């Protein structure tokens, strides 16, 4: 799919956003084990704001109008790439999203594959429409910006940005975060970056995946945002 005019691209992105029913995903696909969200950052990350995470109800009529205004009154066809062995119900999520898109005329074919192949395609920018998840081990928005938002291949940043999104002003703001010592000023910059990113919408946020653990009562296992149990952090509860 090639969308040359920027306004048209923005309209298509917004149409996709309006087509997706995040609450239905939570109920029917995730069986309640997800937190629907409108931002690609979980609540524990510095820079997260409830206003950014807010998401609206699906609006099929408005989504169709946006597509028509963008020059696609009859929709279009596209491939949605997704992993099938990485996230909880990942292929099922992609299939459900394809169904949502079908309601507004976007004929999405799901290509599910192992994460090793899927992530390699993203890292080499061989796909630009895909399902992907992202952990934030630093608990700071800069980690998201450096990998997913910064212009790909510029100044050693943006290695996982396969969307084609590039904003020079945002790049400058992101780069400044690494050296800004004033916490208030740094957080203001993070807020400004998110404001732009949420408006440009290079990514369509779906939900935060819930981490589920089963353990004996005597063990204290601390959840890790990377969904990995580090046994060095497991302790035995005292009686």
Which DSSP string corresponds to 93-139?
HHHHHHHHHHTTTEEEEEEEE-HHHHHHHHHTT--SSB------TT-
**pTM score, whole prediction:** 0.89
- Report the mean per-residue pLDDT for the chain: 93
Contact (Cβ atoms closer than 8 angstroms) between residue 1 and residue 72: no
Q: Which two tokens stand for residue 151?
A: 């212009």
Domains annotated on the chain, with CATH: 6-135+201-228 (3.10.105.10)
Read off the pLDDT of residues 173-208 as tens digits, 9 standing for 90 and up. Answer: 999 999 999 999 999 999 999 999 999 999 999 999
Give the pLDDT score at 7.
Answer: 66
Read off the pLDDT of residues 202-239 as tens digits, 9 standing for 90 and up. Answer: 999 999 999 887 878 888 888 777 778 888 889 998 86
Contact (Cβ atoms closer than 8 angstroms) between residue 44 and residue 11: no
Give dist(CA 228, CA 232) in Å, integer: 12
* C-beta neighbour count of 5 within 10 angstroms: 10
- Taking alpha carbons only, the member of 136, 96, 140, 132 closest to residue 113 is 132
**CA 147 from chain center: how many Å?**
12
SS3 string of 58-93? CCHHHHHHHHHHCCCCCCEEEEEEEECCCCCCHHHH
Candidate from 5-14, 28-37, 38-47, 71-80 with smallest mean pLDDT? 5-14
């Amino acid at each position: 799919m090639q969308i040359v005019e920027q306004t048209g691209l923005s309209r298509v992105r917004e149409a996709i956003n309006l087509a997706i029913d995040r609450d239905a995903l939570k109920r029917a696909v995730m069986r309640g084990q997800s937190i629907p969200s409108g931002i690609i950052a979980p609540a524990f990350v510095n820079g997260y704001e409830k206003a950014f995470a807010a998401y609206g109800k699906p609006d099929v009529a408005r989504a169709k109008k946006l597509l028509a205004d963008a020059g696609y009154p009859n929709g279009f066809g596209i491939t949605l790439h997704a992993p099938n062995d990485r996230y909880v119900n990942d292929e099922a999520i992609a299939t459900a999203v394809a169904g949502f898109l079908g309601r507004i005329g976007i004929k999405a074919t799901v290509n599910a594959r192992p994460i090793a192949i899927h992530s390699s395609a993203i890292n080499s920018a061989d796909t630009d429409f895909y399902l992907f998840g992202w952990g934030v081990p630093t608990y700071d928005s800069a980690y998201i910006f450096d990998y997913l938002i910064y212009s790909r291949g510029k100044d050693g940043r943006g290695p996982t940005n396969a969307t084609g999104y590039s904003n020079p002003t945002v790049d400058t703001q992101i780069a400044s975060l690494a050296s800004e010592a004033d916490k208030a000023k740094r957080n203001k910059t993070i807020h400004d970056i998110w404001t732009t990113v949420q408006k440009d919408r290079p990514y369509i946020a779906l939900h935060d995946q819930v981490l589920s653990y089963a353990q004996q009562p005597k063990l204290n296992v601390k959840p890790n945002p990377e969904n990995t149990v580090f046994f060095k952090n497991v302790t035995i509860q005292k009686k």
